[in-house]
A and B are shown apart, each in its own frame.
Chain A
């Protein structure tokens, strides 16, 4: 084994890339859950976004259009969830699971003709001399635009939830939908908007996997990333900056185990590839052992406003 082959600067740079899809999906789901809705269909929306983004990216030759289409696809699928849970009042857990199973089927149907094709790559942002700086260059200035978009999104969601009127209404709906309803806020409309935002983010996250990270289409590409995003929302105690921390932590574990595989560590590959999931479980346990702090009051509860 040769641990010197692992370059810490490249490790940090690549963990940011590995974390971006999960961060995008997690920040979207965080908003959904802050509005009091538990959408377990993140995996389904991500993989749909992945395949839609890939197909559009390949056909138009433009990864940017791919991302736009992926966001639209994820949002469209999430509105199906919204229709069922908000208007037809179905169980959120069951409907979220249905969304995931549906998305997995839909994606492999759409993706069949695209197997084995390489996608157009997203160009890295050229920041001139900044990118050539030692250490800081590759970590801060050497990424593709989506990495920065995901970071801006964390900032935006944090600011939006904390400092805007819309964010206040969204949190009110999530903490106590009956009170929000009594105050005259449109609970269902606010939640539909949050659900669509979550879907779009999940779609972007999925497309980042198929267009940048891998970059090609294979069946079951997301491999549980959507579920890990859900776990990260819990880890983050529903706070945007902690979601960033959680996603980068997870990205770090993923990249490190890949590096260890490449360095020929004496642990079999299968056990190393388990590690991100095991770490996620351990983190969940640690968080839950501290008590259930910060969960929105109305999370997952049915809202049936009369009148």
Chain B
């Protein structure tokens, strides 16, 4: 061994900030090689993914608003997940909470159709948050009461939620005027329940606004509030946290509950806005991609904001690349997975010093 790893007393702030940038660059290089292997020009592909969605003269005006539409749910979910990840509580079933939030929230809106009232949409948001919260309470309560592994339970519940979604979109919530096609009424035709753009042509809908509010709240919580301190302490030093009087059960309920509620709200914003209706496949895996966003943003609210925008860019850029160059959509998923790998690999610089080993004295 030429190198020796020396544990840093505390993670390096410099490297924590630099590694995401390095990871993105490494992903671009590895992704370029992948695109080259797929028989495409790597430089052109990388440009189409990262540059053209924002600055291309014909596609830009169409894709720029999409940036916020895609980043909104990713940020909202990732903020919730990051609280738990910091405390060592692993909610990886955000996708299920997202679906359940959308179903409960949209269900409320569809139940009162066609009443017109300003209260309907806010109530739907609350119901969506409740749906996600309740779904997350299942793993939370099981962990608190029986010590059941929350990773496996929250993940299993994604498949349960997907089956439930398939059931309601063909049954309970199916559009009665839809001539038997699966899928609910479209919220675009129901103004009181529609999550429209706040500023026309920007992609800024209420979900994006909620994501920004969540970023600010999480930042204040983690830096100024006792609960945020407890979250950070539990992740960093669980033993010290117990001595400091942190009640682990309360923290589990708080972290899973918050992330569930935020994921549920994200689902409602999506289904009542960009997706428009409850359908078998309205969910597009945001709950899983948000895990990457949370790590890429270093579990830090402001970092997550930037990471969410970047990840949204790869989505839009990926669509553009598949349109223009015929690159399969799965390549982008692989690209996103690679990014997380490089990031985790480079974390060694954050947590360890790398020293050259001096040759042993003879």
Interface residues of A (CB under 8 A from B): 40, 80, 83-84, 88-91, 93-95, 97-98, 101-106, 108-109, 112, 219, 223-224, 227-228, 230-231, 234, 268, 270-271, 273-274, 277-278, 280-281, 284-285, 288-289, 291-292, 304
**B163 close to A84 (CB less than 8 A):** no
* Chain A positions within 8 Å of B348 at CB level: 88-90
28 example contacts (A-B, Cβ-Cβ < 8 A) are as follows: A40-B151, A80-B341, A83-B345, A90-B347, A90-B348, A94-B295, A94-B340, A95-B344, A98-B337, A98-B340, A101-B288, A101-B340, A102-B337, A102-B341, A109-B331, A224-B155, A224-B158, A234-B149, A271-B163, A274-B159, A277-B156, A280-B156, A281-B153, A284-B148, A288-B147, A291-B147, A292-B147, A304-B7
B201 to chain A, nearest CB (A): 32
- B14 contacts partner chain A, Cβ-Cβ < 8 Å: no
**A89 close to B149 (CB less than 8 A):** no
Name the segment of B43-51, B164-172, B265-273 touching the other chain.
Answer: B164-172
Q: Binary interface profile of B, 331-348, with partner A (CB < 8 Å = 1, else 0)?
A: 111111110110011011
| Residues of chain B from 134 to 175 with CB closer than 8 A to chain A in the complex | 142, 146-149, 151-153, 155-160, 163-164, 166-167, 171
A288-B156 contact in complex given A89-B352, A102-B337, A109-B331, C-beta closer than 8 Å = no
| Residues of chain B from 1 to 36 with CB closer than 8 A to chain A in the complex | 5, 7
**B341 close to A98 (CB less than 8 A):** yes
A30 to chain B, nearest CB (A): 15
**B163 close to A108 (CB less than 8 A):** no
**B334 close to A89 (CB less than 8 A):** no
Task: Please name 17 further chain A to chain B contacts, defined as beta carbons within 8 Å, in addition to the given A84-B344, A90-B345, A94-B295, sorted by A numbering.
Answer: A94-B340, A95-B341, A97-B340, A101-B291, A101-B333, A101-B337, A102-B334, A104-B333, A105-B336, A105-B337, A109-B330, A109-B334, A270-B167, A277-B157, A288-B146, A289-B146, A292-B147
**B333 close to A274 (CB less than 8 A):** no
Selected contact of B328 from candidates A88, A112, A230, CB within 8 Å = A112
**A89 close to B148 (CB less than 8 A):** no
B135 to chain A, nearest CB (A): 12
B291 to chain A, nearest CB (A): 6
* Chain A positions within 8 Å of B333 at CB level: 101, 104-105, 108-109
